[in-house]
Amino acid sequence: MVIKKRICFVCLGNIVRSPLAKNLFLHQANAANVVEKYEVDSAGTSAYHIDERPDSRMRRVAASHGLIYDGEARRFTKRDLDYFDLIIVMDKENIFDLEYLISTDEHRDKIHLLREFDPSAEEGAIVPDPYYSGIHGFEETYRIIERSTRGLLETLEMDKLGDFES
């Protein structure tokens, strides 16, 4: 039996960046024949879009790259901090928004910016939220998340983040 590493991708509303990251990661893991090693979800720090589908603009951009996905937005909970091995956030505001849920150093150690795994990013770089931008912003965000999730998968497969407790 494979012990799965549990990963939750987090953004503000869980309709643009985090569902894309979840689905890109799963797509890349499937292509690498390692998808069975991971349990992946996404969530938002706000309740703005609970039960809504992912943003249609991002789904259109993803589909133009061959990635078709759907889902429903949900809000991140304290239980998620206990359950998931890794909490991968899109920006520093997401970290700030999670602060009220963090009660242990173990919780804090699970949280990482997604762009930590982007080989072309500077330290502390974030995934921009394209919600109020044109389609070019969605395309740029797609490319950033694609690079970053690929880097995360490579890091996990090389076991650079160490073994996770399940």
- Residues labelled catalytic: 11, 17, 129
The pair of structure tokens assigned to 114 is 């997604």
For residue 34, give the nearest of 156, 149, 166 by alpha carbon: 156
Tokens of 103: 């009660």
Residues in contact with 48: Cβ distance below 8 Å, sequence separation at least 6, in sequence order = 12, 13
Asked whether the beta carbons of 58 and 138 are under 8 A apart, the reply is yes
Q: What is the DSSP string of 40-56?
A: EEEEESSSTTTTPPPPH
